[in-house]
C-alpha cells in the first residue's frame, strides 16, 4: 500500500498542470451550462454528451466544453501511463522495486481521483441545479460510470500502454479514425438487407471492448509483451469492426420476438390496405441492386391503454411452382400504433434479382412484424403554470416563450435525469389567442406528440447527467392569407391549459402476421418518387 501511495503522490506532483486544466474545464461546465436552462427556449440546447452540441448551441464555448473535457482526460491518462512507460526496455523505473499490481493500482487510484470522482461530482451538482435529487439516481450514476469505463477510460489506457509518448498515441487514434471511416465506406458500398434492431450487439460490443482493453493493459503491466498486446488490441478492433458487415442480432430476433401462442388474442389486426386511394408501388434505391416495395396496410384493434411499435419486418414470397424467398429482418423507424384505425406504409427491401424473379406472376406474400408493446403505467394532467413545474416520473418542464406581435407561450421544454424518459404521449390544447374579458376565439385545437423510448436502462452515456427532452406538439401554428400575403400564425398555450403526460413501459415483445395469398409485385416507379406515410 505504501508503494501505491508513493507512486500516486509522485504522479500528482508531476501532472499538476494537466490536473488543474481538467478540473478548470469541468468547473466551467458546472457554471455555464445551467445558464442555458434559465432561458425558456433551452430545449434547443444539447445537454448530453454529443458532438452535435457544437452545431446546436448558441454559446460555442459552453458547447466546446463537451469536447474539451474528454480531450483533457485523454491527455491526463496518456501522461499518467507514460510516467512509467511500458514500451521498450531502457526505462529508469524498471530498476526500482516496483511490483506491477501495485504500479497498476496506483494508476487506477489516480484515474479514480481525477477522472471518475470529478465526473460523478459534476453530474450530482448539475442534477441538483436542474432540480433533481442525485440520491434518487445512484443506479444511473453508477451505470454512467461503467459506460465511461468502456467508452473512454479503458480504451485510452490501452492505447497509452501500447505507445511511448503522447505524439505516437495521437497517431494511433488518427489511424483508428481512418479505419472507422474505411469500414463505414465499405459497408455503404455493399448491398445489405439485414438491419435488425440492436438486441445484443451493443452489449456484446461493449463487453468485447472492455475485455480487450483490459487484456492489453494487464499483458503490458504484467509482462511488458508489447507484440502480444498489439495482437490482442488488433483482434479486438477487428472483432468490433466485423459488426459493420455482419448483423449479429439476426439470430436473436426469434427469441426476443416469439410468435404469439395460438390461444392468445392478437395485439391488433393487420390487413392489406390496397384500394383506389392506396396502392402498393416499387422503386429503386440508391443501390441499383436493391428494390424497395411499399405495401399499404391497416392496423386496428389496439387495446386501450396500449401502444404498439413495429421495430422490424420480414417477408416471405412463395410462387405457385414452389420457389420461395425469405428476407432477413429489416429494421423499422418506430411508428406508434394506438387504439383506432391506423394506415401505414411498410417498406420491404429485396434484391433486384429476386424482384425480377417474382414480379411476373401472383405470389403468396407473408409479412411478419416484430412488435414492442407499451402499456400505460401513469397519467399526469397539469394545469400549465407560469414557472417551472415537475411532471412525476418524467422530468422538470418550463413554459417556452415566443413572439407573435406579443410574448406568448409556444410550448414547453423539459429536462430529464440520466437519460431520455420512458415513452410518453403528451397532449395539450392550443389557442389562437388567450381569452380576456373582451376577446373571443374560434375554439381550442388539440395538439399531441411523443417523446422518450421503451428503454429500461438506468442511464445513457452523458457528461452532465441531464438530458433535454424534445417535445414537438402537432398543430402548433396555422397559416392564413391576408391580402395575398401568406402569414404563419403561432398558436399558444394559455395559463391553466391542461397538459397530459401518459407514460408507457415495455409490456411484451411479440409478432403480428399478415398473409396476402394473391399478391403481385407492382412495377418499378420513377426513381424520383418519394415514399410518404399514408
Looking up residue 361, the CATH number of its domain turns out to be: 2.60.40
Q: Looking at the 3D structure of the chain, how many domains does it have?
A: 2
Q: Is the pLDDT of residue 217 over 70?
A: yes
Statement to judge: residues 475 and 434 lie in one domain: yes
Q: CA-CA-CA-CA torsion for 170, 172, 174, 179, nearest 10 degrees?
A: -170
* Domain containing residue 382: 377-505
Residue 129 lies in a domain: no
Residue 282 lies in a domain: yes
pLDDT digits (tens, 9 = 90+) for 352-402: 888 888 888 889 999 999 999 999 999 999 999 988 899 998 999 998 888
Q: Is the pLDDT of residue 519 over 70?
A: yes
**For position 500, what pLDDT does the model report?**
94
**For position 428, what pLDDT does the model report?**
92
Q: Residue holding cell 459488426? A: 243
Identify which has the larger pLDDT, 96 or 197: 197
Cα-based distances in Å from 232 to 74, 374, 385: 21, 42, 58
Statement to judge: residues 296 and 336 lie in one domain: yes
Residue 91 lies in a domain: no
**For position 276, what pLDDT does the model report?**
61
Statement to judge: residues 327 and 261 lie in one domain: yes
Q: 102: which 3 cell numbers?
A: 501495485
Statement to judge: residues 421 and 494 lie in one domain: yes
Q: Is the pLDDT of residue 240 over 60?
A: yes
Q: Is the pLDDT of residue 54 over 50?
A: no
pLDDT digits (tens, 9 = 90+) for 403-431: 777 788 888 989 999 999 999 999 999 88
Statement to judge: residues 281 and 340 lie in one domain: yes
Q: What is the 3-state secondary structure (H, E, C) of 31-86?
A: HHHHHHHCCCCHHHCCCCCCCCHHHHCCCHHHHHHHHHHHHHHHHHHHHHHHCCCC
**For position 468, what pLDDT does the model report?**
87
Statement to judge: residues 388 and 372 lie in one domain: no
DSSP 3-state of 163: coil
At 529, the pLDDT band (50, 70, 90 cuts) reads very low
Residue 529 lies in a domain: no
**For position 374, what pLDDT does the model report?**
93
**For position 23, what pLDDT does the model report?**
95
Judge residue 222's burial from the number of C-beta atoms within 10 Å of its C-beta, 0-12 exposed, 13-18 middle, 19 or more buried.
exposed
pLDDT digits (tens, 9 = 90+) for 130-146: 989 999 999 999 999 99
Residue 466 lies in a domain: yes
**For position 287, what pLDDT does the model report?**
78
**For position 335, what pLDDT does the model report?**
86
Statement to judge: residues 488 and 467 lie in one domain: yes
Residue 261 lies in a domain: yes
**For position 289, what pLDDT does the model report?**
82
Q: 69: which 3 cell numbers?
A: 473535457
Residue 528 lies in a domain: no
225: which residues sit within 8 A by CB, 6+ positions away? 219
Statement to judge: residues 327 and 277 lie in one domain: yes
Q: Is the pLDDT of residue 50 over 80?
A: no
Rounded-to-integer distance, Cα 71 and Cα 496, Å: 46
pLDDT digits (tens, 9 = 90+) for 164-191: 888 889 999 999 899 888 888 887 777 7
Statement to judge: residues 479 and 514 lie in one domain: no
Statement to judge: residues 332 and 381 lie in one domain: no
Statement to judge: residues 389 and 365 lie in one domain: no
Give the range among 31-45, 57-71, 266-280 with minimum mean pLDDT.
31-45
**For position 277, what pLDDT does the model report?**
67
Statement to judge: residues 286 and 344 lie in one domain: yes
In this prediction the pTM is 0.83
Residue 331 lies in a domain: yes
Q: Is the pLDDT of residue 55 over 50?
A: no
**For position 57, what pLDDT does the model report?**
45
Q: Is the pLDDT of residue 45 over 50?
A: no
Mean pLDDT of all residues in the chain? 84
Amino acid at each position: 500500500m505504501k508503494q501505491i501511495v508513493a507512486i500516486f503522490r509522485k504522479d500528482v506532483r508531476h501532472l499538476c498542470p494537466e490536473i488543474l486544466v481538467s478540473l478548470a474545464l469541468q468547473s466551467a461546465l458546472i457554471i455555464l451550462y445551467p445558464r442555458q436552462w434559465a432561458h425558456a427556449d433551452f430545449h434547443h440546447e444539447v445537454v448530453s454528451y454529443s458532438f452535435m452540441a457544437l452545431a446546436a448551441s448558441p454559446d460555442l464555448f459552453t458547447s466546446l466544453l463537451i469536447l474539451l473535457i474528454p480531450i483533457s482526460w485523454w491527455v491526463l491518462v496518456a501522461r499518467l501511463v507514460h510516467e512509467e512507460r511500458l514500451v521498450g526496455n531502457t526505462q529508469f523505473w524498471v530498476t526500482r522495486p516496483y511490483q506491477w499490481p501495485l504500479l497498476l493500482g496506483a494508476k487506477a487510484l489516480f484515474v479514480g481521483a481525477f477522472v471518475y470522482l470529478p465526473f460523478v461530482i459534476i453530474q450530482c451538482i448539475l442534477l441538483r441545479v436542474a432540480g433533481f435529487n442525485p440520491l434518487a439516481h445512484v443506479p444511473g450514476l453508477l451505470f454512467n460510470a461503467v459506460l465511461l469505463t468502456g467508452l473512454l477510460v479503458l480504451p485510452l489506457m490501452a492505447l497509452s500502454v501500447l505507445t511511448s509518448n503522447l505524439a505516437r498515441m495521437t497517431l494511433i487514434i488518427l489511424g483508428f479514425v481512418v479505419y472507422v471511416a474505411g469500414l463505414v465506406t465499405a459497408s455503404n458500398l455493399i448491398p445489405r438487407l439485414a438491419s435488425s434492431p440492436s438486441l445484443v450487439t451493443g452489449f456484446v460490443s461493449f463487453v468485447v471492448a472492455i475485455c480487450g482493453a483490459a487484456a492489453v493493459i494487464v499483458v503490458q503491466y504484467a509482462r511488458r509483451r508489447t507484440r502480444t498486446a498489439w495482437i490482442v488490441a488488433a483482434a479486438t478492433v477487428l472483432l468490433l469492426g466485423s459488426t459493420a458487415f455482419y448483423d449479429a442480432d439476426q439470430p436473436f430476433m426469434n427469441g426476443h420476438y416469439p410468435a404469439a401462442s395460438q390461444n392468445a388474442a392478437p395485439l391488433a389486426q393487420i390487413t392489406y390496405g390496397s384500394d383506389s386511394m392506396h396502392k402498393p408501388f416499387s422503386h429503386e434505391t440508391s443501390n441499383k441492386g436493391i428494390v424497395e416495395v411499399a405495401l399499404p396496410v391497416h392496423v386496428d384493434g389496439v387495446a386501450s391503454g396500449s401502444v404498439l411499435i413495429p421495430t422490424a419486418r420480414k417477408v416471405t414470397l412463395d410462387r405457385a411452382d414452389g420457389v420461395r424467398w425469405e428476407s432477413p429482418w429489416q429494421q423499422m423507424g418506430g411508428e406508434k400504433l394506438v387504439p383506432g384505425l391506423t394506415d401505414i406504409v411498410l417498406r420491404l427491401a429485396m434484391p433486384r434479382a429476386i424482384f425480377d424473379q417474382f414480379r411476373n406472376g401472383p405470389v403468396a406474400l407473408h409479412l411478419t412484424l416484430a412488435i414492442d408493446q407499451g402499456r400505460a403505467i401513469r397519467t399526469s394532467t397539469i394545469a400549465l403554470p407560469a414557472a417551472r413545474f415537475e411532471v412525476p416520473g418524467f422530468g422538470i418542464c418550463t413554459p417556452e416563450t415566443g413572439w407573435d406581435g406579443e410574448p406568448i407561450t409556444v410550448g414547453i421544454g423539459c429536462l430529464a435525469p440520466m437519460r431520455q424518459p420512458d415513452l410518453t404521449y403528451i397532449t395539450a390544447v392550443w389557442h389562437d389567442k388567450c381569452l380576456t374579458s373582451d376577446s373571443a376565439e374560434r375554439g381550442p385545437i388539440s395538439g399531441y406528440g411523443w417523446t422518450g423510448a421503451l428503454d429500461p436502462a438506468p442511464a445513457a452515456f452523458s457528461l452532465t447527467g441531464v438530458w433535454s427532452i424534445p417535445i414537438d406538439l402537432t398543430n402548433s401554428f396555422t397559416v392564413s392569407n391576408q391580402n395575398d400575403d401568406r402569414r404563419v400564425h403561432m398558436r399558444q398555450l394559455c395559463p391553466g391549459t391542461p397538459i397530459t403526460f401518459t407514460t408507457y413501459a415495455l409490456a411484451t415483445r411479440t409478432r403480428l402476421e399478415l398473409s396476402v395469398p394473391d399478391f403481385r409485385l407492382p412495377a418499378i416507379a420513377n426513381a424520383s418518387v418519394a415514399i410518404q406515410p399514408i
